[in-house]
């Protein structure tokens, strides 16, 4: 079993995400984290593709969809278990009008 493929971004990143937990539990944990984040925390929910095992992340912050499309194989997975990644956002800067 020799694999010469370079690590994917997902593999290269530090393993800071928690393992998949039942959806309700994960959403409760994420809501807790958002509440404690004082408006500076976003969460990105993750799920594991039931077809190819790819770890996928939803593009929209703070939303755990009921189904997710695998970015690798393109098939849909019903998200019964999920994890999430916490992202701290920077405080607003005074850059003037856009």
Binding site for Zn ion (CB under 5 A): 49, 51-52, 54, 70, 72-73
Q: Which is nearer to Zn ion, 52 or 63 (CB)?
A: 52
As measured in angstroms, the least distance from the Cβ of 63 to Zn ion is 20
Q: Which is nearer to Zn ion, 42 or 64 (CB)?
A: 64
Q: Which is nearer to Zn ion, 41 or 50 (CB)?
A: 50
* C-alpha to C-alpha distance for 72 and 92, rounded to whole angstroms: 35
* C-alpha to C-alpha distance for 56 and 72, rounded to whole angstroms: 9
Q: Which is nearer to Zn ion, 44 or 68 (CB)?
A: 68
As measured in angstroms, the least distance from the Cβ of 57 to Zn ion is 13
* C-alpha to C-alpha distance for 76 and 69, rounded to whole angstroms: 4
As measured in angstroms, the least distance from the Cβ of 32 to Zn ion is 29
Hey, which bits of the chain come out as E strands? 21-22, 41-48, 55-57, 67-69, 76-78, 81-88
Closest CA to 82 of 53, 52, 56, 51: 56
As measured in angstroms, the least distance from the Cβ of 26 to Zn ion is 20
């Amino acid at each position: 079993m020799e694999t010469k493929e370079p690590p994917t971004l997902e593999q290269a990143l530090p393993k800071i995400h928690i393992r998949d937990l039942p959806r309700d539990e994960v959403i409760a944990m994420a809501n807790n984290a958002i509440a404690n984040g004082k408006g500076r925390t976003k969460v990105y929910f993750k799920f594991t593709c039931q077809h190819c095992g790819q770890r996928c992340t939803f593009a929209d912050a703070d939303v755990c969809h009921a189904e997710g499309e695998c970015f690798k194989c393109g098939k849909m997975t019903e998200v019964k278990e999920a994890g999430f990644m916490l992202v701290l956002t920077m405080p607003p800067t005074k850059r003037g009008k856009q």
